């Protein structure tokens, strides 16, 4: 199913728009990346798609369903998962309890839950070793892994991923990209990725959106972009060119 | 008065019994706080509603033989009232995207407490009422105890046990615990956080109502009878640590024992002072309470 964002205007406070008529599309099983300078509205866009922020105008569609006014828990049921920038885990619960919470929407289907847990442990074998460990004792890389694993328990059709490498060391950041791409391929899901780490993130992408001042400034298939061109575009954004 | 081991044991048992009853109230306060991060100042009024419903059911409908049905009836009724109050008065703070929603929510509960207390004064008058005695006295070792007080103790223990089972052995309980740790995380898991808030509020006030209903034959029923229970509840959650469920239970027992033993060794007239002394000592030694954790702000 396509994710289609059309002319969306949104913001946190009345009279201040962070997203200004932004439009984009993510095709099934593809990876689209959003890059742009700080304050461009990248994270706000993901929050708006996932229902944490209601657009003032414009439309957001997933397949043939309008989702612009849906709350997050309903959007989850449609097969969309959101992986926020912060470690999105429950620190006092064990790793396995975190994963089970990720499977909330099919909690009564015990067979599916067991299958999905096995599948998740296959993708993230390191988590199995810590299954009975409280999440607050894990390292940064393991917490990132758990944040991703928890959200993909539902085998989403679309993953919204916000700055997956923020605050991570370069080595752990590379691992985080590996978790992500491994998951996306295993699940055959689409991914809309916001990242500041251009060189590594662009390697994952099929399509690139450069966002500035709440709207898409440039977009195209990855083949049209290399890191040098992207750096130049970002520099132009920052200089207001 | 000569303090014998037997007397000490008796007062320890009495302290434990009242501590378990305090725990119900404190659990309600801390449970709501842990999920919604707001303090419900109207807890005493939900305790008062529970006692009035129990009184009304026993006197006008059930009779003293079916007092235990009255307890369940009080809990169900106040649970429903809690659902409605949360939906109509508190939830709008949490859906409008306003800042400091927990503080506005807390202020709403202060207004609600005044409203409920005055409403009951208008409806029932300022008179004190009692549903009468339900059970004959019992003897614990050598300690004679009012049957109703003992029933209240057993009822409170049972409710604490059921609450423990709910939190630790059900999906809903895990969702409550998860909500207290990461509100965004439960929403990305597909849980309706507004429903969790509503259920937490209703369960919290239901526990207060249970305490009110259980103690209706022991203490009197009148519009401001929840005031002392509220103060004790807040003392306990500060002693135990804000938002900590084990802290609420242990804090309540500590308070009950302190009051009871303080009455023996020092003076029964200063009973209510001992709790505050304990609170000050705990705050000096561990400002976050016995089980509380310092909030980390990034």
Give me the CATH number covering residue B148.
1.10.3470
Q: What is the widest separation between alpha-carbon atoms in chain A?
A: 56
Contact B222, B229 (CB under 8 A): no
Orientation of helix B226-240 relative to helix B271-285, angle to 10°:
20
Q: Is residue B293 part of a domain?
A: no
In the predicted model, what is the mean pLDDT of chain B?
A: 90
pLDDT category of residue B236 using cuts at 50, 70 and 90: very high
pLDDT of residue B264: 82
Residue B225 lies in a domain: yes
- Asked whether the beta carbons of residue A88 and residue B178 sit closer than 8 angstroms, the reply is no
Query: In terms of DSSP H, where are the helices of chain B?
Result: 5-36, 43-56, 67-85, 91-95, 101-124, 147-169, 171-181, 183-188, 193-215, 226-240, 245-265, 271-285
Read off the pLDDT band of B294 (50, 70, 90). Answer: low
Is residue B137 over pLDDT 60? yes
A144 interfacial to chain B (CB closer than 8 Å):
no
Select the more confidently predicted residue: B238 or B99: B238
Answer yes or no: is B295 within a domain: no
From chain B residues 175-204, the ones with a CB under 8 A of any chain A CB are: 175, 177-178, 181-182, 184-193
Q: How many domains does the structure of chain B reveal?
A: 1
Å between B34 CA and nearest CA of chain A = 13
Q: Smallest Cα–Cα separation from A161: which of A126, A190, A123?
A: A190
Angle CA B169–B174–B178, to nearest 5? 160
Beta-bridge mates of residue B40: none
Task: Give the per-residue pLDDT at B245.
Answer: 87
Question: In Å, how far is B166's CA from the nearest CA of chain A?
Answer: 15
Q: Is B98 on the interface with A (CB under 8 A)?
A: no
pLDDT of residue A36: 85
Give the residue with greater pLDDT, B135 vs A234. B135
Contacts of B193 in chain A (CB under 8 A): 73
Report the residue of B97, B189, B192 to disrupt the A interface, i.e. the one with the largest count of A CBs within 10 Å.
Answer: B189
Asked if pLDDT for residue B272 goes beyond 90, the answer is no
Residue A72 near chain B (CB below 8 Å): yes
Residue of A nearest to B186 (CA): A101
pLDDT > 70? residue B296: no
Q: How sure is the predictor about B297, in pLDDT bands with cuts at 50, 70 and 90?
A: very low
- What's the pLDDT tens digit per position in B1-46? 677 888 888 888 888 988 999 999 999 999 999 999 899 999 999 9
Residue B147 falls inside a structural domain: yes
Q: Is the pLDDT of residue B269 over 60?
A: yes
For residue A58, report the phi and psi dihedrals to the nearest 5 degrees: 100, 175
- Axis-axis angle for helices B245-265, B5-36 (nearest 10): 150
Find the Cα–Cα–Cα–Cα dihedral B96, B101, B107, B110, rounded to 10°.
90
Complete DSSP assignment for A177-239: HHHHHHHHHHHT-EEEEE-S-HHHHHHH-SEEEEEETTEEEEEEEGGG--HHHHHHHHHHHHH
Residue B241 included in any domain = yes
For chains A and B, count residue pairs whose Cβ atoms are closer than 8 Å: 66
pLDDT at site B290:
87
The answer to whether A170 contacts chain B (CB < 8 Å) is no
Write out the residue range of the structural domain in which residue B209 sits.
5-285
Residues of B in contact with A72 (CB under 8 A): 187-188, 190
Report the side by side order of strands in the sheet with A80-83.
Answer: A80-83, A158-162, A190-194, A31-35, A207-212, A215-221
CA distance A222 to chain B (A): 29
Distance of alpha carbon A139 from alpha carbon A150, whole angstroms: 16
Q: Is A62 on the interface with B (CB under 8 A)?
A: no
User: CB–CB of A52 and B190 under 8 A?
Assistant: no
**Segment of B114-123, B265-274, B287-296 carrying the highest mean pLDDT:** B114-123
Contacts of B173 in chain A (CB under 8 A): none
Cβ neighbours of A157 in B, within 8 Å: none
pLDDT at B1: 62
Give chain A's length: 241
Q: What is the mean pLDDT of each run of 10 residues along chain A (241 residues)?
A: 93 89 94 88 95 94 94 95 93 95 94 93 88 91 90 92 82 79 87 84 87 90 81 73 60
With CB atoms and an 8 Å threshold, state whether A12 touches B97: yes
By mean pLDDT, which of A75-84, B18-27, B112-121, B129-138 is the weakest? Answer: B129-138
Give the torsion sign (CA, A120, A126, A130, A135).
Answer: negative
Task: Determine the Cα angle at A173 with ends A236 and A167, to 5°.
Answer: 75
Q: Which residues contact B87 (CB under 8 A, 6 or more apart)?
A: B198
Does any domain span residue B168? yes
Instruction: Among B4-8, B10-14, B59-63, B226-230, name the one with the lowest average pLDDT.
Output: B4-8
Query: Is residue B149 included in any domain, yes or no?
Result: yes
Rg (CA), chain A: 18
Q: What pLDDT was estimated at residue B77?
A: 97
B248 near B27, Cβ under 8 Å? yes
How many residues can be counted in chain B? 298
**What span, in angstroms and rounded, lies between the C-alpha atoms of B297 and B291?**
19
Per-residue pLDDT reduced to its tens digit, B159-205: 999 999 999 999 999 999 999 999 999 999 999 999 999 999 999 99
Flag if A100 and B174 touch (Cβ within 8 Å): yes
A85 touches chain B (CB under 8 A): no
Q: Helix axis angle, B5-36 relative to B193-215, nearest 10°?
A: 150
Nearest CA in chain A to B298: A86
Instruction: Give the residue carrying structure tokens 């027992």.
Output: B253
Give the relative orientation of helices B193-215 and B67-85 as an angle to the nearest 10 degrees.
150
| In-domain check, residue B108 | yes
Q: Are A100 and B189 a contacting pair, CB within 8 Å?
A: no
């Amino acid at each position: 199913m396509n994710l289609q964002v059309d002319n969306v205007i949104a913001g946190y406070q009345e009279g201040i728009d962070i997203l200004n008529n932004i439009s984009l599309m993510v095709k099934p099983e593809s990876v689209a990346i959003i890059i742009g300078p700080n304050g461009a509205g990248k994270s706000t866009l993901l929050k708006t798609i996932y229902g944490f922020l209601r657009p003032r105008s414009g439309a957001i569609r997933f397949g043939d369903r309008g989702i612009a006014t849906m709350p997050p828990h309903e959007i989850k049921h449609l097969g969309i998962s959101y992986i926020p920038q912060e470690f999105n885990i429950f620190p006092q619960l064990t790793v396995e309890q975190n994963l089970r919470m990720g499977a909330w929407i099919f909690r009564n289907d015990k067979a599916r839950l067991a299958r999905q847990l096995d599948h998740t442990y296959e993708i993230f074998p390191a988590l199995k070793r810590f299954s009975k460990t409280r999440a607050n004792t894990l390292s940064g890389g393991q917490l990132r892994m758990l944040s991703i694993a928890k959200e993909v328990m539902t085998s989403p059709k679309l993953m919204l991923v916000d700055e997956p490498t923020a605050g991570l060391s370069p080595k752990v950041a590379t691992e985080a990209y590996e978790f992500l791409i491994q998951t996306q391929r295993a699940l055959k899901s689409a991914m809309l990725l916001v990242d500041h780490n251009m060189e590594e993130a662009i390697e994952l992408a099929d399509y690139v959106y450069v966002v500035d001042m709440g709207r898409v400034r440039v977009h195209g298939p990855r083949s049209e972009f290399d890191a040098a061109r992207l750096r130049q575009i970002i520099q132009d954004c920052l200089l207001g060119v | 008065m000569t303090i014998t081991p037997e007397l000490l044991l008796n007062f320890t048992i009495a302290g434990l019994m009242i501590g378990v009853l305090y725990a119900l109230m404190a659990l309600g306060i801390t449970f709501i706080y842990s999920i919604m991060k707001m303090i419900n100042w109207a807890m005493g009024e939900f305790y008062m509603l529970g006692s009035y419903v129990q009184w009304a059911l026993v006197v006008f409908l059930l009779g003293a033989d079916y007092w235990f049905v009255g307890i369940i009836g009080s809990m169900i009724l106040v649970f429903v009232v809690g659902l409605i109050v949360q939906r109509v008065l508190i939830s709008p703070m949490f859906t409008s995207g306003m800042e400091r929603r927990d503080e506005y929510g807390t202020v709403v509960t202060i207004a609600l407490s005044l409203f409920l207390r005055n409403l009951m004064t208008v409806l029932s008058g300022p008179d004190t009422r009692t549903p009468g005695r339900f059970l004959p006295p019992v003897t614990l070792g050598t300690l004679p105890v009012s049957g109703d007080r003992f029933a209240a103790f057993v009822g409170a223990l049972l409710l604490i046990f059921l609450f423990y089972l709910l939190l630790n052995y059900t999906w809903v309980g895990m969702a409550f615990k998860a909500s207290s740790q990461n509100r965004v995380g439960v929403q990305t898991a597909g849980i309706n956080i507004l429903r969790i808030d509503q259920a937490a509020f209703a369960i919290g006030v239901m526990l207060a109502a249970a305490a009110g209903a259980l103690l209706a034959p022991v203490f009197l029923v009148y519009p401001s009878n929840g005031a002392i229970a509220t103060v004790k509840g807040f003392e306990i959650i500060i002693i135990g640590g804000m938002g900590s469920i084990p802290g609420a239970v242990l804090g309540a027992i500590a308070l009950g024992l302190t009051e009871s033993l303080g009455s023996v060794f020092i003076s029964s007239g200063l009973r209510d002072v001992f709790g505050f002394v304990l609170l000050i000592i705990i705050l000096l030694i561990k400002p976050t309470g016995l089980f509380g954790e310092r909030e980390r702000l990034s």
